[in-house]
Amino acid sequence: MLPSCDFGQSFGELLSQTLKIFYNFATIPKVVLACSQDELSPLETTVKGFEMGLPPEQKERQVSAGDSTTGLKTNVAGLLCYVGIWVAGIVFLIIEKKNTLVRFHAMQSLVTFGILQIILNIASAVRHWLASLDGVWLVYPHLIGATVIYGVFLAIGIVLWIVLMYRTYNGHLVKVPLSGDLALKLLAKLDGISKEDFEREAGDLKSHTEPEQPSIPLAEEGKRTPDTADRYFKGTRSGRIASSGGAIAWSVILLIFFNFFSQYLAFYQGVTTDGVTKWNIYPLLTQDFRLVLPILNVTLILSIAGHAAAIIFDKYLLREITLIVLNLLGLATVLTFLSILPFDFSVIPHTAIATVSPTVAIVVLAVIAAALGIEALVRFIRVIINMSKAPPAN
């Protein structure tokens, strides 16, 4: 446990009482509407197990999982651990002395969002430093890379924040890969509790807080349920392979074209002399295109790698996250095109076409950017909904 002092204890008691006041105020309607024991949620039934007549051995096992220094229910205290990200994690590590599960949520919040905060701060500092350089165009690819890294980790943080709050409030114990294991190790050293003891206590709580639910047949073809995760499997594996294979082929074609044949992105005019037609080529890309090429190459290479991984593993969550990241990278690439606009339409010999072409190019790029952003947002929301619906692992 953390070493205590008079100031820490006083602060903890004050914050605990404040949380209890707000929570009690927020739950007054639920108390008034509750007419019988049957209307209590499974988690309420578990936390109030001593009054519900649970067997003595279950009561004893609930001491560390159900009792709380703050007086809040486990799911509410766990939710609050994530609401304020790593700051709330520190607060609950200080004020919560009894409830092992709440302390785990607090430690996981501290570790997970603390690490993400450090990464975002470093990426942001690098972005601002690169943008402040005089010859910023020389390091423009690095600036784009830092921006992409910042955006990807920010998206990961938002997804984790929403999922952890939603799942924890509904009585699920979610352990984030890597950071959850690290949080458990730190908590074991801090509280002197073994991993086996924690898993046993968490299992006892879960067995009394969650009703039996059928598992979602994500890995089985031919079975149908109405959720999105199952609709992912409504097609055949060969169909998904064909889709990813097409994306890979298209990415390879674009990668080769823009790196070796970009001069052929041009306006072509045929001139016929003595029955012989000659084609005049007016390249449209300027020298500024080299500033866009690095992020374009990164997006196309990651598209090839991402779709290849989706073909090999064929997992719903992997494919959705891959597509979200690729949509964000595509959005960053299109926005880079819009900001630099590496086109020279003045070479077009037709005045009317040369005049309207810049506007058309901007509109087309803006529509593509909007489509990529909307698709990424829709997939993001869909993943959150499906993760919130998925039953916990046994």
Could you tell me if residue 220 is inside a domain? no
Q: What are the structure tokens assigned to 29, written together?
A: 């309607």
Last residue of a domain, one of 176, 209, 242: 209
Q: What is the pLDDT of residue 367?
A: 92
H/E segment holding residue 144: helix 140-169
192: left (phi over 0), alpha (psi -120 to 50) or beta: left
Q: How many residues does the chain have?
A: 394
Look up the domain containing 27 and give its range.
6-209
Residue 9, classed as helix, strand or coil, is helix
Q: What is the pLDDT of residue 274?
A: 78
| Integer CA distances (angstroms), 299 to 257, 322, 333, 341, in order | 14, 12, 8, 18
d(CA 104, CA 100): 6
Same domain, 334 and 252: yes
Same domain, 59 and 159: yes
Q: What is the pLDDT of residue 361?
A: 92
Could you tell me if residue 156 is inside a domain? yes
Same domain, 31 and 88: yes
Q: What is the pLDDT of residue 74?
A: 87
pLDDT in tens, the chain (394 residues): 334 444 344 444 544 554 454 444 344 333 333 333 343 333 333 333 333 333 444 433 333 445 678 888 888 889 999 998 899 999 999 998 888 889 999 999 999 999 999 998 998 888 888 777 766 566 666 777 777 788 778 888 888 888 888 888 888 888 888 888 898 889 888 887 776 777 666 665 554 444 443 433 433 333 434 444 445 444 577 888 888 899 999 999 999 999 988 888 888 888 887 778 788 888 899 988 988 888 899 899 999 998 998 888 888 888 888 898 899 889 889 988 988 889 999 888 888 888 999 999 999 999 999 999 888 888 888 877 777 665 554 4
Residue 37, classed as helix, strand or coil, is helix
Same domain, 188 and 251: no
Q: What is the DSSP letter of 268?
A: E
Mark 283-312 as b/e (b = at least 16 C-beta within 10 Å): ebbeeebebbbbbbbbbbebbbebbeebbe
| pTM of the full structure | 0.50
Same domain, 197 and 314: no
Our count of domains for the chain comes to 2
Same domain, 145 and 196: yes
Q: Supply angle C-alpha 292, 296, 299, rounded to 5.
A: 150
Could you tell me if residue 106 is inside a domain? yes
Same domain, 152 and 14: yes
Burial bucket for residue 164 (CB in 10 Å: 0-12, 13-18, 19+): buried
Partners of 279 in the β-ladder: 270
